[in-house]
Every structure is written in structure tokens, then in C-alpha cells.
Amino acid sequence: METTTYKIYSAISQLPDSWDEVAYDNAFLQTYYLKVLEESAPTNMQCFYIGIFKKSELIGVALAQYLNLNKLESFGERDKCFKTYARNFVFKNFASHALFLGNNMITGQNGYVFNKKIDLKTVAELLNECAKEITAYFKKQNIKIHIVSFKDFYQNCAVELKKSSFSEMYEFNTQPNMIFELDKNWKTNDDYVASFSKKYRDQYKRAHKKFEGITTRELSLEEILSNEERIYELYHHVARNAPFNTFFLAKNHFSSFKKQCGNRFILIGYFLNNELVGFHTLLLNGTTLETYFLGYDEQIQKEKMLYLNMLYNMTKYGIENQFKEIIFGRTALEIKSSIGAEPVLMSGFIYHNNKLIDKYFDKIFPKLEPTLVWQQRHPFK
């Protein structure tokens, strides 16, 4: 730690010139994506950008996000039960000011990246120190950070982090990340469909039959801007009906993404009788295809199996453009497994700044997490 230091920035314009060279392996830490956050982050979010130095050389970059949950219109409206009301009460009163070391908007280990070898013990100490400094920054503004969370680590990293300064924190595993490792022998979508067992080939055919009448096309920046209200309406419907939310995107988020990222960001519109009834988005991240937010008209989704067809279309794009894997993220685990994605367990670490609450966090946290029961599907022969 003697020669490894960090600096916290609050604006993209302050970042070192070599930032993108260090962040080369992760699109979600490169400046073009960070500018999207700066321009169109959720209204209850503030981002911080962390540079990590070996002597004077930038060797690592990281992201932190502060969320004020008091500004949320809703935590999610799908589940109406006592446990949900109790959870919402607890979050409003005891966890409304949250600090995430990592990216709370996406699934995956996207919180930091290094271009030089560094041991995870040092990484844990640095992230901890950054969290303390940002917490102190808010304290000066009379804002008390309730919870601090270090988000989304694959299991090999989590095991090592637990041996260091993370050992006293509560480790949690929420819904797994659904990842589809594409078979390198698949050259076309027909190869993919041919690999299904009969049951799932029939599902594919049935979904495509239902899909008749829907047309799809990639939208340009101009088209995204002209359809911005409708795109947001479709996104917002899906977001409000999620089991739990800590943010809602800004209305200009998708147009900002397209403006900053160009061809690396793709928004596919779904049309029925020339009316936009759904969309999905993708980010090209090296050999990884990242699925991003989507939206749809609920009635059309039921009639046309819109969501399942979106998953098939994302997979087709991944195969035809020779990506190695598709990150489908959390939620809708069963239907994602039915098209070939598999669950990958991810860990987070969390603590509460109230010592009494933190002492019993291992008892409290599981009661706040929405219960999920699902069956993994195995669609291939």
C-alpha cells in the first residue's frame, strides 16, 4: 500500500489522459460510458470516478455511486405483500442513503479494472479507503451514508476478498447473473436452433409463429430522439413492475447512450402497425455482448411472446456477430435459461454504518431480499 494510492474525481473532465488505456478491457469503465452516466444518470444517483496509481502511474480505475432512495417514486410495484411493505419501510428509514463501490445499474464484475498485476488484498484495502473518504465527503454535507456495498464479484474474487479487509462484512448472493457461453461451432442462427431438444425447438417455433406481424429495426440517434417519450414509457412500465428498484433511468438515457457510444450501442425497436411496442438494447463490449435495458407494451408482450422473441433475437445477433458470450443479467432467470443462458453466482459485500444494525445484518438482510423460486431449464440435446 506504500506506493499504491488513489484519487477520487467527481467529473469526467478531471480524469487522467490515460484513463481509457487502463479501462480498455471493460466498456463500462471507459469514458464514453461514464459520460452517459454524467449526462443521464438516474436523478437519485451521483457518480464518483476513482483512479488508482502506482507511484505516479495510473494502473487501475473504479466507479462508485451514491444513491438517495428517498427520491424514488417507487421501489417496485409487482409484489404486494407484508414483506414488501416491511422491506420498503426499512429501506426508507434505515438504508435510504447508499454508497455502492461498483455499478448498481448493471450486473457483472464491472466495478474496477487494472492493467497491471495487483493482489486482491490491496484492491480490498483501496476500495475500503475510497468508501470511507466518500462517506466523509457526504458527512460534511450533513448526509449520513447508511449502507456501503461492494458490488458483484465472481466467486474466485469473492473468496480472496474474504481473506482481507472484507472479512468482517456481510457477504450476500442475490439472483445469479445469467450468462450464455456461445458454442463456437454455431455459425448461424439455424445452427443454434438445430441444437435444441424437440421441446425447446417447438418453443422456438411457437414463439416465432406468435411474433408474426411484428417488424424490427435498429434505430438511429435521430429515431431514438424522435421516439424518446415512447421509449421511456415502455421502459418505465417494465421498471415499475420489477420486484425491486433502487433507481429509474433518466428520460434522455438512451439517446445519450447512442450519442456517446455510437455503433457500440444498439437499440432495436419492435413495431406493430408502425407503432413502437417494444425495444431492447445491447452494448458491444469486446468479445462480450452485454444486454442492457428494455421495454414493452404489456398487452402486446402477452399476445406476441415479445420478451422471449427479444431473447432469441439477442442470441441471434451474438451468434451472427461472433461474440463469445452474452451477459443477460439478473431477473427472468427461468425464461433466460430456456434459451441457453446459465446461472453464475455472484457475491457482494455490505455493511451498515450503524454498528448495532451492522452486528445483526446477517439476520436482517435475508428478510429484505425478495424470495425467488425458479427452475433451471436445459434446452439443448
Tell me, yes or no, whether 69 and 103 share the same domain.
Answer: yes
Select the more confidently predicted residue: 82 or 348: 348
**3/8 Cα distance (integer angstroms):** 17
pLDDT at 268 over 50: yes
- Domain membership of residue 378 (yes or no) is no
- Domain membership of residue 225 (yes or no) is yes
- Domain membership of residue 373 (yes or no) is no
**325/358 Cα distance (integer angstroms):** 38
Question: Could you tell me the CATH number of the domain that includes residue 229?
Answer: 3.40.630.30
**Region of residue 223 (phi > 0: left; psi between -120 and 50: alpha; otherwise: beta):** alpha
Task: Tell if the pTM clears 0.85, that is, is over it.
Answer: yes
Rounded average pLDDT over 191-212 = 98
pLDDT at 76 over 60: no
b/e 32-42 (16+ beta carbons within 10 angstroms → b)? bbbbbbbbbbb
**What is the per-residue pLDDT for 15?**
98
Query: Mind listing the pLDDT tens digit for each residue in 35-48?
Result: 999 999 998 999 99
Rounded average pLDDT over 316-339 = 96
**What is the per-residue pLDDT for 174?**
79
pLDDT at 264 over 90: yes
Grid coordinates 450503524 are at which residue?
A: 354
pLDDT at 93 over 60: no
Q: Is 126 in contact with 52 (CB distance < 8 Å)?
A: yes
Query: Mind listing the pLDDT tens digit for each residue in 225-239?
Result: 999 999 999 999 999
pLDDT at 161 over 50: yes
Rounded average pLDDT over 344-363 = 92
Please give the grid coordinates belonging to residue 357: 444494525
pLDDT at 77 over 50: no
Tell me, yes or no, whether 58 and 184 share the same domain.
Answer: no
Q: In what order do the strands lie in the sheet with 214-218?
A: 214-218, 265-272, 275-285, 288-296, 325-329, 177-181, 342-344
Tell me, yes or no, whether 59 and 167 share the same domain.
Answer: yes
Tell me, yes or no, whether 189 and 128 share the same domain.
Answer: no
- Domain membership of residue 372 (yes or no) is no
pLDDT at 78 over 80: no
- Single-letter amino acid code for the residue at 153: F
Tell me, yes or no, whether 149 and 203 share the same domain.
Answer: no
Pairing of strands 147-154, 346-352: antiparallel
pLDDT at 82 over 70: no
**What is the per-residue pLDDT for 175?**
85
Tell me, yes or no, whether 199 and 336 share the same domain.
Answer: yes
DSSP of 86-147, one letter per residue? HHHHHHHHHSSEEEEES-TTS-SS-SEEESS---HHHHHHHHHHHHHHHHHHHHTTT----E
Tell me, yes or no, whether 220 and 266 share the same domain.
Answer: yes
Please give the grid coordinates belonging to residue 370: 425478495
Rounded average pLDDT over 78-97 = 58
**What is the per-residue pLDDT for 87?**
52
**What is the per-residue pLDDT for 274?**
95
Band (95; pLDDT cuts 50, 70, 90): confident
Q: Return mean pLDDT, the chain.
A: 92
**What is the per-residue pLDDT for 80?**
52
Please give the grid coordinates belonging to residue 148: 456501503
- Domain membership of residue 374 (yes or no) is no
Rounded average pLDDT over 96-116 = 93
How wide is the angle at C-alpha 113 spanned by C-alphas 43 and 247, nearest 5°? 20
pLDDT at 192 over 80: yes
User: CB neighbours of 205 closer than 8 A, spacing ≥ 6?
Assistant: none
Rounded average pLDDT over 276-290 = 96
Tell me, yes or no, whether 185 and 302 share the same domain.
Answer: yes
Question: Could you tell me the CATH number of the domain that includes residue 77?
Answer: 3.40.630
**What is the per-residue pLDDT for 71?**
79
Q: How many domains does the chain have?
A: 2
Pairing of strands 342-344, 45-54: unpaired
pLDDT at 111 over 50: yes
Domain residues for the domain of 62 are: 4-174+346-367
Band (75; pLDDT cuts 50, 70, 90): very low
